[in-house]
A and B are shown apart, each in its own frame.
Chain A
Amino acid sequence: MSRSLQLNGSRGKRGFFALAAALGLLVVGPACDSGPIDVSERAAADGGTLPGPSLTAPTPRRGRVLGGERVDRIIEWPGERPAELPASELVGDMQPRSSEAIERSPVPVLVPPSMSEGASVMVGPSWFAFSGKQADLTVTVQGSSRAFVYPHIRAAEPTHTIRGRGGYLTRNEGIWVASWIEHGAAYSLELECATPFQGACADESMILALADELVFVGGAGPRDGGPR
């Protein structure tokens, strides 16, 4: 008897729906090398009939995708208006390889001007990462154009306002973390103090100010004439 697949999370267990096996009998590809265990000997010894699979074919089920489904976000690149042009002058203050990384970023790169001197921008196939240090502060920014989608995680209501948008604010081992969605991409900003829970890390005001300060410094731009 089929059993519902287990799903996790606070919403409890759910069952995936069973697809109606209404497809044709097209069989493609090599048959299996060995079938089910040969039970004929045992059946003969028992003097009974050979057991076989149930007469009713089970309905094919879906499995849960391991590690989540990867889904590209639709990125809306900043436009041509003056306020949206990249603050490219900041790039010159950064580590040498940052300029080239910014040009390859699949996500609009946002950085805090106050932390850009000596900072570094790195990129991956679907992300960028900014890391900057000033005195005893470390600031990181991440942007992502590809999400993991899980069947047990649904849209959550934002709980804070970040850059005028709904987002989340948390503190992880003294490190402030703000996250939100902008330009269609997922962003995260983190503030770490050499002395946690004090000074700039005593409360959320500094990280919220940093979030408001973020400016667009460039990126690879839309692919194939996509939305801008």
Chain B
Amino acid sequence: MSRPSRRHSSAVVALMLVSFLPASASAFEEFYAPAGQLVPGSGQGTADETVYAPGMRFPIGTGPAYPNSQVWGVGGSQGPGGSQCDAANYSYPWYDNYCETRSWDMPLCPSGVGHQGQDIRPATCEDSVHDIVASEAGTVTNIGSYSVYVTAASGQRFDYLHGSNVAVSSNQAVDKGQTLAKVSNEFGGTSTTIHLHYNIKQDVGGVGFVFVSPYMSLVRSYEDLMGLGNEAPQGPVDAVDCESIRGWAQDPDAPDTPIEVHAYFGGEAGNPDAVGVTLLADEYRDDLCDAIGSCNHGFTLAVPRSLRDGQPHEVYLYGIDTEGGDNAQLQASPGQFQCAPPPLPSGVRRLIASPEVLADWQLSTFWDMAKVDDASLQALPEGEPWPEQRLVVRAEDDDTWWVVDSGLRRGIDPTVAELWDIEDDEVQVWPADSVQGIPEGPPLRSERFLVAAEGSAIYMVDDDVCPPNDPLCVVGGTTSGGGDDDSGGDDSGTGGGGEHGGTDTNEVLPPSQDGADDGCGCRTSSAPATPLWILSFVSLSWLRRRRSRTTTKQPNKQMR
């Protein structure tokens, strides 16, 4: 196993001593290598610092514990020779091994394949001594030959592999922290080291069920377990109103370092019904420079559109300790706000068929969505479903960006691109005549406005778009109520009920004339003939919403 990186080498000795120091010891070096930094030679990690399971319990009963690679560690099949009990395996810093080299699909890994979880060694190299405990309360939904799965109410699943002395049974309700088994090396006769293989599995928009990185969730929960305390962050909430939520926060242990602020809407931290957001308090404020000796600690948080509903809402704000100690609720927290609903923009409502669409367009139901009553929703005519996948192109001889939508190209102003989180690396470069061959539609709006009524689907309020040559498309038409042929609903590709209007078949689009408005606010151009494959591609991207989508792909050649 490689030695800890240089930045941690001086900390290793200190950290070894920390285990024996009171929890109130002063600041010390980090005990973990960054997310995505795998043991050299073990593959390509992902620098994903997301805490996928905030507030979870560390899955081993007591510390210390040592997440690292059991394959590339000392005594592992790919590591230096020696014993699994070598001191190098039982020391800091931690090493991430999510996405470590493996052969099978892992959509969230940079290479598309990799290790699905994290190996964790307990405090000592002893079999069946150390407790494996539940990270969250839930139901034991499986006990296999060497696996125990616990599914939380949220649907998130936590997997505990290779344990012995399983202490729970299938369909049993368990509490957070309840003992499930002992850390061991159960693997059906296959050789492995004494360790807990730990997975977090979620239904993730854009992918479906997938194993997410547990690393930073383990870091945060370990900090809680080990009581890594020091001086708590400080700062006030200056104001809470319908313009913003403002204040500042500083950790005295790191006075020049901007810290994160967590804001919880609808309850305190730890309340399962509360929605938490994180924001870096790094805004420059003159008044802080002398007062606290450092300037960049302000924050100004927007008020989410989904909470602008005329109802009172509370927001709880916490400064996040840089060293994993207790997070302090800021002075004057919680705050309250009550904001009138925003006026609905004009236009049509376009169905967002699935979380996959939200994911691909980077849309947020928390920030972008207004909740309205059913009458207000129905007052908006229904338009074409929102494109399932975002396709942004530009001509090879032009810098103008276009999003392809329902067979039309819609211009994207640079400031609008930023609003929609569209960046250079997403833009496909096409031959100029191919781009020009796509009829032009209305530009992409400068505001992402989602809308939903209670229990309804989610819609984007947008301009009406008419796919070229669609006889059913009528600008401002009403919903026909007709559904797709694919009522089986594969791949959530239709969402049901999202068909554009046009029950009046007499309102067929007039033949388009060069440069003339063809009846839908769209203009055709006198562009040179577009290669057939481009037309086919553009048509297919529209037609996919009208047909059952059965994607047949050949299995990838797997890495060996």
Q: How far is the CB of A160 from chain B (nearest CB, A)?
A: 5
Task: Tell me, yes or no, whether B360 is within 8 Å of chain A by CB.
Answer: yes
Q: How far is the CB of A110 from chain B (nearest CB, A)?
A: 13
Residue pair B189, A179 in contact (C-beta under 8 Å): no
Q: How far is the CB of A8 from chain B (nearest CB, A)?
A: 4
Task: Tell me, yes or no, whether A92 is within 8 Å of chain B by CB.
Answer: no
* Chain A residues closer than 8 Å to B204, beta-carbon distance: 68, 147-150, 153
A64 to B157, CA, bound (A): 22
Residue pair A69, B365 in contact (C-beta under 8 Å): yes
A161 to B555, CA, bound (A): 7
Q: How far is the CB of A184 from chain B (nearest CB, A)?
A: 4
Residue pair A174, B187 in contact (C-beta under 8 Å): yes
Task: Tell me, yes or no, whether B164 is within 8 Å of chain A by CB.
Answer: no
A65-B277, A193-B188 known; A25 and B354 CB under 8 Å?
no
Which of B206-214, B464-472, B538-546 is the interface stretch? Answer: B206-214
Q: How far is the CB of B455 from chain A (nearest CB, A)?
A: 6
A32 to B236, CA, bound (A): 8
**0/1 string, A128-152, CB within 8 A of B gives 1:** 0101000010101010101111111
A147-B203, A153-B108 known; A62 and B277 CB under 8 Å?
yes
Q: Nearest B residue to A124 by beta-carbon distance?
A: B153
* Chain A residues closer than 8 Å to B338, beta-carbon distance: 28-29
A14 to B420, CA, bound (A): 11
Interface size of B as a range: 35 or more
Which of B194-202, B401-409, B506-514 is the interface stretch? Answer: B194-202
A223 to B454, CA, bound (A): 12
Q: Nearest A residue to B55 by beta-carbon distance?
A: A67
A65-B366, A173-B161, A224-B455 known; A153 and B236 CB under 8 Å?
no
* Chain B residues closer than 8 Å to A154, beta-carbon distance: 206, 359-360, 362
Q: How far is the CB of A36 from chain B (nearest CB, A)?
A: 6
Task: Tell me, yes or no, whether A35 is within 8 Å of chain B by CB.
Answer: yes
Interface size of A as a range: 35 or more
* Chain A residues closer than 8 Å to B105, beta-carbon distance: 159-160, 168-170
Residue pair A155, B116 in contact (C-beta under 8 Å): no
A53-B285, A76-B489 known; A8 and B48 CB under 8 Å?
yes
Residue pair A28, B550 in contact (C-beta under 8 Å): no
Residue pair B303, A60 in contact (C-beta under 8 Å): yes
Which of B13-21, B137-145, B432-440 is the interface stretch? Answer: B137-145
A167 to B105, CA, bound (A): 10
Q: Nearest B residue to A14 by beta-carbon distance?
A: B421
* Chain A residues closer than 8 Å to B536, beta-carbon distance: none
* Chain A residues closer than 8 Å to B550, beta-carbon distance: 164-165
**0/1 string, A26-63, CB within 8 A of B gives 1:** 11111111111101001100100001111001111111
Residue pair A144, B106 in contact (C-beta under 8 Å): no
A195 to B280, CA, bound (A): 48
Residue pair A149, B240 in contact (C-beta under 8 Å): no
18 A–B contacts from the bound complex (CB under 8 Å)? A1-B283, A1-B284, A5-B280, A53-B298, A57-B300, A65-B277, A68-B204, A78-B488, A129-B139, A140-B142, A140-B144, A142-B151, A156-B207, A164-B552, A170-B104, A172-B159, A172-B199, A227-B489
**0/1 string, B240-252, CB within 8 A of A gives 1:** 1111110110000
Residue pair A28, B555 in contact (C-beta under 8 Å): no
Which of B59-67, B88-96, B222-230, B289-297 is the interface stretch? Answer: B289-297
* Chain B residues closer than 8 Å to A54, beta-carbon distance: 284-286
Of the residues A146, A152, A160, contact of B203 by C-beta under 8 Å: A146
A28-B242, A39-B287 known; A227 and B419 CB under 8 Å?
no
* Chain A residues closer than 8 Å to B359, beta-carbon distance: 149-150, 153-155
Of the residues B112, B155, B187, B238, contact of A124 by C-beta under 8 Å: B155
Residue pair A64, B206 in contact (C-beta under 8 Å): no
Residue pair B337, A9 in contact (C-beta under 8 Å): no
Residue pair B487, A76 in contact (C-beta under 8 Å): yes
Given contacts A9-B108, A26-B243, A65-B277, 18 further A-B contacts (CB under 8 A): A2-B282, A6-B49, A8-B50, A10-B110, A29-B338, A51-B287, A52-B286, A63-B278, A67-B51, A70-B154, A79-B488, A140-B144, A152-B50, A155-B356, A166-B491, A182-B490, A184-B354, A227-B487
A79 to B545, CA, bound (A): 20
- Among A25, A74, A168, A224, max chain B CB count under 10 A is at A74
Of the residues B276, B282, B332, B555, contact of A34 by C-beta under 8 Å: B332
Task: Tell me, yes or no, whether B275 is within 8 Å of chain A by CB.
Answer: yes
Of the residues B285, B354, B388, contact of A73 by C-beta under 8 Å: B354
Q: Nearest A residue to B145 by beta-carbon distance?
A: A194
Residue pair B276, A66 in contact (C-beta under 8 Å): yes
Q: How far is the CB of A2 from chain B (nearest CB, A)?
A: 6
Residue pair A2, B283 in contact (C-beta under 8 Å): yes
* Chain A residues closer than 8 Å to B206, beta-carbon distance: 149, 153-156
Residue pair A9, B48 in contact (C-beta under 8 Å): yes
* Chain A residues closer than 8 Å to B290, beta-carbon distance: 39, 42-43, 46, 51
* Chain A residues closer than 8 Å to B161, beta-carbon distance: 173
Q: How far is the CB of B161 from chain A (nearest CB, A)?
A: 5
